Amino acid sequence: MKNNIYILWFAGLFFTISCGLDNYDEPGSQLFGQITYEGESIGLRGTGEAVQLQLYQDGYELDAPIPVFVKQDGSFEATLFDGEYKLVTRDQNGPWVNDRDTMLVTVNGSAEVNLEVTPYFMLSEVDISLEGKNEVTATFTIDQIAEVANAEYAMVLLGKTAFVDDVVYIGRQDLSAPQVGNELELSMDVSGIAEVEANGALFARVGVRPVGADQAIYSDVVRVR
| Residues 160-166, mean pLDDT to the nearest whole number | 95
Q: Under DSSP, is residue 84 helix (H, G, I), strand (E, B) or coil?
A: strand
In degrees, rounded to 5, the angle at the alpha carbon of residue 171 between the alpha carbons of residues 165 and 173 is: 85
- Reported pTM: 0.84
Count the Cβ atoms, other than its own, within 10 Å of residue 61: 4
- 79 contacts 30 by C-beta, under 8 angstroms: yes
What fold characterizes domain 29-116?
Immunoglobulin-like (2.60.40)
Tens digit of each residue's pLDDT (9 = 90 or more) over 106-157: 999 999 999 999 999 999 999 999 988 889 999 999 999 999 999 999 999 9
What residues are paired with 176 via a beta bridge? 153
CA distances from 118 to 41, 121, 139, 190 (A): 12, 9, 24, 35
d(CA 213, CA 209): 7
Mean pLDDT score across all residues of the chain: 89
Please report the sign of the dihedral spanned by the C-alpha atoms of residue 194, residue 197, residue 201, residue 206.
positive
Query: Residue 138: which of 160, 114, 151, 155 has the closest Cα?
Result: 155
- Cβ neighbours around 10 below 10 Å, total: 10
Question: Cα separations (Å) of 130 from 91, 165, 187?
Answer: 39, 19, 10
The whole-number pLDDT of residue 23 equals: 53
The answer to whether the 29-116 and 121-223 domains have the same CATH topology is yes
* Helix residue ranges per DSSP H, the chain: 2-22
Query: Distance between CA 149 and CA 160 in Å, rounded?
Result: 32
Domain boundaries, the chain: 29-116, 121-223
Record: fold of 121-223: Immunoglobulin-like (2.60.40)
Q: pLDDT tens digits, residue range 16-50? A: 444 554 555 788 899 999 999 999 999 999 999 99
